[in-house]
Amino acid sequence: MNLLADTCRAIVPVDDEAARRMRQCLDDKTKPRGSLGMLEDLACQIASIYGTVLPPLPRKAVVVMAADHGVAEEGVSAYPAEVTAQMMRNFAAGGAAINVLARQAEARVVVVDMGAKSPIQGIVKILNGWLGPGTANFTRGPAMSKDTAVRGVEIGIGVAAELAADGIGLIGVGDMGIANTTAASALTAVLCGEAVERVTGRGTGIDDAGWQRKVRAIKQALTVNRPDPADPLDTLAKVGGFEIAGLAGVLLGAVARRIPVLLDGFITGAAALIAARLCPAVRGYLIASHRSVEPGHQAILRDLGLRPLLDLQMRLGEGTGAVLAMYLVEASLRIVREMTTFPAAGVTDTGV
């Protein structure tokens, strides 16, 4: 049995009829029609995913996948590679930004080691999805084998399946990995057909010289590896990352179980490109939590046809934007469940 193929076969398009009925329900509430803007659109999307006009208030989790990248050797990040493992330990200890925001949102934080340079052992709050000591330096050859890419995706599918079995009904995704914006920029350039310079930002805050090294590294990787934009797994293997593979799997695994997914920023967007190329119906289940300041994120949002809910000039990653947007998902559902209709409130409905 091929878990990836079986998962893609299980994915069905969202229920447009449920969205239509949700719109009708919202129009009956005591407000001018459409006056809650994107909050109403969000409620309709959630209805289309769950297939019901009265979706439940879901239990929430954010999956943070982390891995190292061999291209860090090229001086493309302002931080050393050891920070990846250090931040994973910080996540496990509850001291990072994602932990603070997730506690407020009452969301579980699930941390997965997809490939730190040294596997993190003995910390029960970090799941082991380790594929190796970081990817290879993709300026010299493929980041990983195609078999490894598939294995990474299938690990992510398994994580989503476990969360669904435990009753989680809303999943946010986040990332950690020094040099992972370099991999995401390479993936975006290939899959969106954009110039490398247009989709490459400053990541952790590199200077002009660092940005130029980053652009050169990506261009060299594309020349050396020649990733096929028509083959998402080939592209993922040649210029992607272990955590990006895992995140693509989380998206597919969640969508196969009709669970809406809140994307964070640039890295999770790159994972969404992979997932949507593998199964186009995935798009209807994705919610863009915010607009990252990374320029490549804009290309991803255009490609996926997503409108971000927030624009807070954020670029941290970790799933921070996804968790903030969980408040908006819950707010949209509470409007449906708790707001009074025109007849019940005795308020005149003018039909506008």
| CATH code for position 203 | 3.40.50.10210
Q: Which one of the listed residues 74, 154, 194, 318 is annotated catalytic?
A: 318
pLDDT score, position 1: 54
pLDDT score, position 114: 98
In contact, 137 and 231? CB cutoff 8 Å: no
Tokens of 215: 């652009």
64 and 118 both lie in a single domain: yes
67 and 206 both lie in a single domain: yes
Question: Rounded to an integer, what distance in angstroms lies between the CA atom of residue 153 and that of residue 151?
Answer: 5
pLDDT score, position 207: 94
pLDDT score, position 100: 98
12 and 109 both lie in a single domain: no
Question: Rounded to an integer, what distance in angstroms lies between the CA atom of residue 87 and that of residue 154?
Answer: 24
| CATH code for position 8 | 1.10.1610.10
Sign of CA dihedral 45, 51, 56, 60: negative
Tell me the per-residue pLDDT of 63-112, one tens digit each, with 9 for 90 and over.
999 999 999 999 999 999 999 999 999 999 999 999 999 999 999 999 99
Q: How many domains does the chain have?
A: 2
> Is 197 a known active-site residue?
no
Report the chain's C-alpha Rg in angstroms: 20
39 and 76 both lie in a single domain: no
38 and 68 both lie in a single domain: no
In a domain, 351, yes or no: no
Give 220's contacts (C-beta < 8 A, 6+ positions apart). Answer: 139
In a domain, 352, yes or no: no
Tell me the per-residue pLDDT of 166-178, one tens digit each, with 9 for 90 and over.
999 999 999 999 9
Domain region containing 203: 59-330
Within 10 angstroms of residue 24's Cβ, the number of other Cβ atoms is 11
pLDDT score, position 118: 82
266 and 166 both lie in a single domain: yes
Nearest to 42 by CA among 251, 229, 285: 285
Q: Are strands 286-288 and 261-263 parallel, antiparallel or unpaired?
A: parallel
40 and 100 both lie in a single domain: no
187 and 238 both lie in a single domain: yes
Nearest to 337 by CA among 29, 18, 105: 29
146 and 9 both lie in a single domain: no
77 and 142 both lie in a single domain: yes
In a domain, 154, yes or no: yes
Residues lower than pLDDT 50 in the chain: none
In a domain, 350, yes or no: no
In a domain, 104, yes or no: yes
Specify burial of residue 23 (Cβ count, 10 A radius: 0-12, 13-18, 19+).
Answer: middle
Question: Rounded to an integer, what distance in angstroms lies between the CA atom of residue 314 and that of residue 159?
Answer: 26
In a domain, 107, yes or no: yes
51 and 66 both lie in a single domain: no
pLDDT score, position 119: 80
First to last CA, the chain: 54
pLDDT score, position 122: 85
Question: Rounded to an integer, what distance in angstroms lies between the CA atom of residue 339 and that of residue 326?
Answer: 19
99 and 43 both lie in a single domain: no
Instruction: Fill in the DSSP letter of residue 345.
Output: H
DSSP H/E element including 236: helix 232-239
CA angle 98, 104, 105 (to 5 degrees): 85
